[in-house]
Structure 1
């Protein structure tokens, strides 16, 4: 069975999404190891995503694209909840004693790389905004 290469436009969009997700995760205080685990990318892909090369392209699988999407949507939910950058970018690194965090920060919780946990954290934070969209 032949594997089809992703079209160049899809690879360009994937690179843009990945670069944005990496930047957000780093603003939340994630380490390189945490970013790679959360997005399920290799350390070399993470390093390339950090560079400012506008010509860089990447093929991401459905799981990776979903993870990027969840990080972007989590950030969007936080933007609705918080007006100031300190809370917007600091919330994910703050210890939280509510379920599902139980004293850990949301970033700590999602750093294990489990897709369902990432989705649950997104869903929880998204629910905090109520019907504010």
Structure 2
């Protein structure tokens, strides 16, 4: 399929629509939901928070999804639910990169934060507000922190003294 071009002749990327096909979503849904549930357990999320993060499916739908996923059955989540799970996976991954101890990452997620985007509430409050935007905002904040923005150094980093030139050895 030819890619559309801008007026200056540069090719624009084309979204691969095949990743949204039911067969692909079916393949990803159960493993994604099992991973989401494991992270939700780690973060200590209650049922309401889990449902909010998934787009607030009905209780019966949520429990059916969980049963099917745990039994390695076949479910097909919609694009919104899979996008939300992807955001949770990204948050979990970023916390693992930013904090050497898992419990410290979970504590950060649950504690009030002074960054404007959190309004002195915990990042978890924003992530579990029921909107995809809330999840994506927390994920973007952590991605920026991984890049060195927004977060003050951890206790371990605060005491780090930069290496001197004579301490760097090349082999």
Where does residue 21 of structure 1 map in the other structure? 36
Rg larger in structure: 2
**Is residue 91 from structure 1 mapped to residue 108 from structure 2 by the alignment?**
yes
Does 1 or 2 have the higher relative contact order (CA < 8 Å, sep 6+)?
1
The two structures have a TM-score, normalised by structure 2, of 0.65
**Can you give the 5+ residue segments of structure 2 that lack an aligned partner in the other structure?**
1-20, 149-171
Q: Which residue of 1 aligns with 2:75?
A: 58
Task: Deviation per CA, 1:48-77: give whole Å up to 9, x if none.
Answer: 455573422211111111101000011111
What's the CA shift for 1:12?
A: 4.2
Q: What TM-score results when the alignment is normalised by the length of structure 1?
A: 0.81
Counterpart-to-counterpart distance in 1, 2:59 and 2:34: 13
- Corresponding residue SS for 1:15: helix
Segments of structure 1 that go 5 or more residues without pairing to the other structure are none
Q: Quote the Cα distance in structure 1 between the aligned partners of 2:60 and 2:35.
A: 16
Give the superposed CA RMSD: 2.1
Aligned to 1:42: 58
CA–CA separation in structure 2 for the residues paired with 1:103 and 1:90: 15
**Distance in 1 (alpha carbons) for counterparts of 2:65 and 2:77:** 12
Distance in 1 between residues matched to 2:70 and 2:77, nearest whole Å: 18
Aligned length: 126
